[in-house]
Amino acid sequence: MRNHKSIEAFAQACRVLPGGVNSPVRAFGGVDRKPLFIAGAKGSRVFDVDGNEYIDYVGSWGPMILGHAPPAVVAAIQKAAERGASFGAPTLAETELASRVVRAFGSIEKLRLLCSGTEAVMTAIRLARAYTGRDTIVKMVGCYHGHSDSLLVSAGSGLAERGTAASPGVPEALAALTVVVPYNDWDTLRQAFRKQPGDIAAVLVEPVAANMGVVPPEPGYLESLRSLCDENGALLIFDEVISGFRVAWGGAQERYGVRADLTCLGKIVGGGLPLAVCGGRAEIMDLLAPLGHVYQAGTLSGNPLATAAANATLEILEAGGTDKTKERYAQLESLAAGLETGLAKAAAHAGVPVTINRVGSLLSCFFTDKPVRNFDDVRATDIGSFKRFFSEMLDRGVYLAPSAYEAMFVSLAHTSQDIERTVEAAGESFRRL
């Protein structure tokens, strides 16, 4: 495929944007290529400025569960835009959206609408600290929760140690308020509570890790986190920015039967527009101003275009009732399971060792013959093979996330023919590695 216009566009962008992009992974640095510049998208396809067409498994990094430009969502945005793009005042659509989210997530009694997942997690942490009167947060290695200072941390000198700054510009004093432990390791979390009794405000986790590739929770892991938090007076925060409305209508909490005290949602909940949610028990959420003294505000929070897209998207997913909702998610499950099976068979036929992790319509293909259950396992995989696989697939018209540490997203717009074509491309690509 020709990419001359994308290459030229990237060169122009680099003159005015740091790295030529507005979010680092878009630069394709993790796959040693120049990025695609997208001209448009429809259904399961994206089209670049060179006129190339790709089956898309990025889906704007997760929001596009209905596929690109679904007519009902487009119509809702257009209708809202005709009434005005922003008011900075309450609207009926905000209450409608909040009510939909509360119906879906049994752990959410009240919520605050925000503009990004980063902002949602920041708010959850502030609430947890105010509610408990404690300062320390625990997060898991490899789980990403946005780019706020206290969460851009790496593991300290040992397990269950205070974090160190992972980015210039992050004060070490802030990083030290975050303890970092391995994902899927509840014993180390127990050690952290023992080392700092009465100090930990909250445990923050992606219940389905999806920012190191897809890594499911081990059986009993989420239940253990819930128990440890209860035993030690800490809150459990689930970052369901990716898994919310993705792995089930009620997110990972529905799928695994474990409730969080605070939940962060993004991506799908905004229907592709900038919108996020921080929600939880009413007694915690009521600490937010204007009821309480925990301050949080945003000019574009509850933006009418975003709430229109969100309500239209969730209405389609909810589909008018429990049975119809289950049908939607069964369809996603079936498509993703077919892709998982096809990729595994294609790799085996080519003699390429892979491990495929999947939860619902989220999946990752790791180049290893070993299980992948935490970030150390991910880093031990063959990243070089992934880079080559990515390029081979792109050249065959399949657009995967340009990083070995990201997920593939299947949408309701994907068809069985898309899956078959993808598996065929994968077979050819595996044989060229």
If asked whether residues 330 and 310 sit together in one domain, one would say no
If asked whether residues 139 and 61 sit together in one domain, one would say no
Whether 159 has a pLDDT exceeding 60, the answer reads no
pLDDT more than 70, % of the chain: 98
If asked whether residues 227 and 125 sit together in one domain, one would say yes
- Report the pLDDT averaged over residues 72-78: 98
Tokens describing residue 294: 């925990």
**Final residue of a domain: which of 318, 336, 366?**
318
User: Please, which pLDDT band fits residue 161 given cuts at 50, 70 and 90?
Assistant: low
If asked whether residues 262 and 329 sit together in one domain, one would say no
**Final residue of a domain: which of 318, 343, 367?**
318
pLDDT tens digit string along 396-414?
Answer: 999 999 999 999 999 999 9
Three-state secondary structure along 22-36?
CCHHHHCHHHCCCCC
If asked whether residues 115 and 243 sit together in one domain, one would say yes
Whether 160 has a pLDDT exceeding 70, the answer reads no
pLDDT at 319: 83
Q: For the chain, what is the mean pLDDT?
A: 95
Name the pTM for this structure.
0.96
Whether 157 has a pLDDT exceeding 50, the answer reads no
Catalytic residues: 144, 239, 267
pLDDT tens digit string along 373-392?
Answer: 999 999 999 999 999 999 99
pLDDT tens digit string along 170-224?
Answer: 888 888 899 999 999 999 999 999 999 999 999 999 999 999 999 999 999 999 9
- Report the pLDDT averaged over residues 90-114: 98
pLDDT tens digit string along 43-56?
Answer: 999 999 999 999 99
Quick check: 288 and 128 in contact, CB under 8 A? no
Q: Which domain holds residue 249?
A: 71-318
If asked whether residues 260 and 116 sit together in one domain, one would say yes
If asked whether residues 132 and 172 sit together in one domain, one would say yes
The number of domains in the chain is 2
Identify the weakest region by mean pLDDT among 156-160, 220-224, 248-252, 382-386: 156-160
**Cβ contacts of 102 within 8 Å, gap of 6 or more:** 108, 109, 110, 111, 279
pLDDT at 151: 87
